[in-house]
């Protein structure tokens, strides 16, 4: 329902909003900002009756149906099924809106990538990024409702003195951090970490950009945080970086350490913009280095909101 909420929040006034799901859910009445809607059983032909289809499904489901639907409708797919195909655009509207023009099937990036890329793009435009090192602190909701439920259940178990069970995550998450999201690859990185590299390169149009990412699951419910270190091609100062970020769309600069004012999951939750703060020169790279801390709602800019913003592009 995050996509429906984003449609309403961005001021869409569609002639009709239709919800599709499996036969098991068909017929249920769902309250939405557009009024109470009835879930319909999914079929390709029914989806093709829509002008724009926003897909929040598994990669397997998207692989099976998205291209067929796209023969008659524009499909914006939130899964990873098409992100790495050269013939399918991977779009963040603040960065590469032109890639969506004329496309009938558009991929939405990984949540971690979207949050980082929105912050990195204005810095790249102003100073050029030579390389980037990223560490992520990802909320339980990145694993969906089961991840949030497991965190809350585990905290309650701990408070009773019971053992904490783990099934969604590799280890108990309450009062812990887990440096393991998705499967490990041959190079020692996880697939989640490599997604940041692969997708940022594609969105920026920089296929050789050196990026190293470490992705960590932390015991928060919502909104991902990331520390980002960049080496730039041109000299950069804290002031010039702040100016570039303050003038960029999709960013809220939250950076007043004297008032303990910086990005946090608690403040980023529910926001459309990505919070950026802790802006400082990196001593390793000197006047060509910068450190920032970013936080964004991965269910919004990292997923639903970005998909709806792509739809907005197409309508404009």
Grouping H, G, I as helix, E, B as strand and the rest as coil, residue 169 is coil
Outline where DSSP puts E strands in the chain. Answer: 19-21, 29-32, 35-41, 52-55, 74-77, 105-107, 129-138, 211-217, 224-232, 251-253, 274-281, 289-296
Name the residue among 145, 79, 133, 64 with its Cα closest to residue 109.
Answer: 79
12 and 308 in contact (C-beta within 8 Å)?
yes
Listed as own residue / partner, the contacts of 177-185 with beta carbons closer than 8 Å and 24 or more positions apart are 177/137, 177/216, 177/217, 177/218, 177/219, 178/216, 178/217, 179/214, 179/215, 179/216, 179/217, 180/217, 181/138, 181/142, 181/215, 181/216, 181/217, 182/215
Active-site entry in 50, 65, 213, 224: 224
Considering the candidates 111, 213, 288, 295, report the single residue annotated as catalytic. 111
Burial of 81 (0-12, 13-18, 19+ CB in 10 A): buried
Give the Cβ contact number of residue 243 at 10 Å. Answer: 14
In the residue annotation, 111 being an active-site residue is answered as: yes
CA 30 vs. chain centroid, Å, equals 25
User: Scanning the structure block, which residue is given the tokens 């730039």?
Assistant: 232
Q: Count Cβ atoms below 10 Å from residue 315 Cβ, excluding itself.
A: 10
Whether 314 contacts 16, CB under 8 Å: no
Residues designated as active site: 111, 224
């Amino acid at each position: 329902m995050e996509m429906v909420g984003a449609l309403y929040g961005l001021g869409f006034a569609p002639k009709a909003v239709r919800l599709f799901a499996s036969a098991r859910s068909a017929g249920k009445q769902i309250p939405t900002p557009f009024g109470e809607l009835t879930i319909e059983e999914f079929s390709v032909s029914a989806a093709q009756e829509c002008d724009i289809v926003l897909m929040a499904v598994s990669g397997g489901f998207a692989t099976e149906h998205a291209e067929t639907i796209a023969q008659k409708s524009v499909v914006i797919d939130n899964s990873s099924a098409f992100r790495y195909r050269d013939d399918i655009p991977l779009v963040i509207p603040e960065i590469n809106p032109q890639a969506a023009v004329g496309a009938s099937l558009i991929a939405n990036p990984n949540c971690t990538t979207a949050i980082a890329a929105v912050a990195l793009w204005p810095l790249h435009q102003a100073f050029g990024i030579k390389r980037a090192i990223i560490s992520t602190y990802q909320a339980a909701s990145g694993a969906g409702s089961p991840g949030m439920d497991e965190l809350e259940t585990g905290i309650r178990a701990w408070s009773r003195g019971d053992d904490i069970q783990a099934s969604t995550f590799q280890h108990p998450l309450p009062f812990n951090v887990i440096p393991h999201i998705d499967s490990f690859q041959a190079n020692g990185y996880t697939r989640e970490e490599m997604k940041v590299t692969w997708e940022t390169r594609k969105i920026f149009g920089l296929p050789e950009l050196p990026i190293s990412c470490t992705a960590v699951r932390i015991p928060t419910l919502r909104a991902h945080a990331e520390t980002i270190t960049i080496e730039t091609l041109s000299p950069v100062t804290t002031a010039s970086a702040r100016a570039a970020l303050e003038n960029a769309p999709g960013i809220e600069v939250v950076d007043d350490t004297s008032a303990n004012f910086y990005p946090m999951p608690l403040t980023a939750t529910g926001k459309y913009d990505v919070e950026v703060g802790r802006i400082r020169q990196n001593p390793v790279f000197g006047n060509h280095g910068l450190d920032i801390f970013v936080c964004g709602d991965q269910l919004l800019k990292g997923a639903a909101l970005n998909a709806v913003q792509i739809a907005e592009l197409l309508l404009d």
